[in-house]
């Protein structure tokens, strides 16, 4: 019976359940744990091969090096998610956690290995609200190796009544309170 054919993670070989939430690729799939090595902002993995995932992990190592050594935030905005901006180097990243949370001496954005973007990679932003009042912020990204959009749900919370707005015209990021 092919219907319930057992599947295994192509990285670590762990058995994968039928409701695996790990990333799927053209030629295989990964378990949840191995998928955590990949960026959350890589949405269309199904159009790529596992060999691209290996390259991606190498790129992510460079990302964390820049975060550690060349990214010096001059401002941060919002709370879960928190937007960190380095105005001098014109770079930004968005962490899921709060600005003041860190792990020992390790900055939150380093710990999360947040994807770094330059201001020029900002394309557009859109905020929508569904019937239950849940806000979704979608930030479109261009000219980046894997990210095409950043999507934040819930966390821009209706309960905080604050929103992050990326102003693509002015190439800067502003924080507004409703
Ligand atoms: Zn795995």
Expressed in angstroms and rounded, the spacing between residue 28 Cα and the centre of ligand 1 is: 11
d(CA 70, CA 80): 23
83-105 burial, b at 16+ Cβ within 10 Å, e below that, comes to bbbbeebebbbbbebebeeeeee
| pTM for the model | 0.76
Expressed in angstroms and rounded, the spacing between residue 109 Cα and the centre of ligand 1 is: 24
Residues 117-128: what's their mean pLDDT? 82
Domain spans in the chain, listed from the N-terminal domain onward = 13-63, 74-177
Label residue 21 by pLDDT band (50, 70, 90): confident
Label residue 123 by pLDDT band (50, 70, 90): confident
> Ligand 1 is a single-atom ion; what residues have CB below 5 A from it?
9, 11-12, 14, 31, 34
Report the mean per-residue pLDDT for the chain. Answer: 79
Expressed in angstroms and rounded, the spacing between residue 178 Cα and the centre of ligand 1 is: 42
């Amino acid at each position: 019976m092919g219907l319930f054919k057992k599947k295994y993670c192509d990285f670590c070989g762990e058995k994968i359940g039928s409701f695996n939430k790990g990333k799927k690729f053209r030629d295989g799939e990964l378990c949840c744990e191995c998928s955590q090595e990949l960026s959350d902002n890589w949405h269309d993995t199904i159009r790529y091969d596992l060999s691209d995932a290996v390259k991606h992990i190498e790129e992510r190592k460079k990302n964390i090096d820049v975060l550690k050594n060349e990214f010096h935030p001059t401002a941060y905005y919002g709370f879960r998610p928190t937007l960190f901006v380095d105005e001098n180097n014109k770079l930004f990243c968005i962490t899921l956690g709060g600005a003041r949370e860190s792990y020992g001496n390790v900055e939150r954005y380093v710990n999360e290995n947040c994807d770094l973007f330059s201001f020029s990679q900002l394309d557009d932003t859109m905020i929508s609200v569904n019937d239950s009042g849940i806000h979704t912020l979608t930030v479109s990204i261009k000219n980046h190796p894997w990210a095409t959009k950043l999507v934040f749900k819930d966390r821009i919370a209706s309960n905080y009544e604050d929103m992050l707005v990326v102003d693509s015209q002015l190439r800067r990021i502003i924080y507004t309170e409703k």
